[in-house]
Amino acid sequence: MTTTPTLLIDSRDPFASADGGFARELALALARADVPVTLFYVHNAVLGTRRGAKVKPHAELAGSGVTLLADAFSLAERGIDAQQLAAGVAAAPLDVVIDKLLAGWHVIWH
């Protein structure tokens, strides 16, 4: 069975949103079902990607095969350097979204 890869875009502040774990939980479920998945953090969601942030799902997600990316522009707007990202999270341009759309990936924005 062929599965279409999925890009999840998380824009919710993990410290202010009651459903901040939705994208992480969905990414983990998809990865466990052998669906290629990338979780792309934008806007205030990048706040939870910093090393030392109280939100620490990154190791489990990266260990399950989920690609974790943080929007470089959102990071810069918030004064977060790519060197401050948690292990397993990489900075990336917003072009990633367009590239995945053009490649036929499913895209879900939360």
pLDDT in tens, 12-28: 888 787 776 788 899 99
Which among 7, 20, 19, 18 has a CA at the least distance from the CA of 66?
7
Nearest to 21 by CA among 59, 63, 56, 71: 56
Characterize 73-108 residue by residue with b for buried, 16 or more Cβ atoms within 10 angstroms of its Cβ, and e for exposed. ebbeeeebeeeebbebbebbeeebbeebeeeebeeb
Task: For domain 6-109, give the fold.
Answer: Hypothetical Protein Ychn; Chain: A, (3.40.1260)
CA dist 28 and 16 (Å) reads: 22
pTM of the predicted structure, to 2 decimals: 0.92
What is the pLDDT at residue 99? 96
91 in Cβ contact with 82 (< 8 Å): yes
Least confident among 24-28, 46-50, 58-62, 78-82: 58-62
Which pLDDT does position 13 carry in this prediction?
86
User: How far, rounded to the nearest angstrom, does the alpha carbon of residue 63 sit from its chain's CA centroid?
Assistant: 14
| pLDDT exceeds cutoff 70 at 29 | yes
At residue 71, the 3 state secondary structure works out as strand
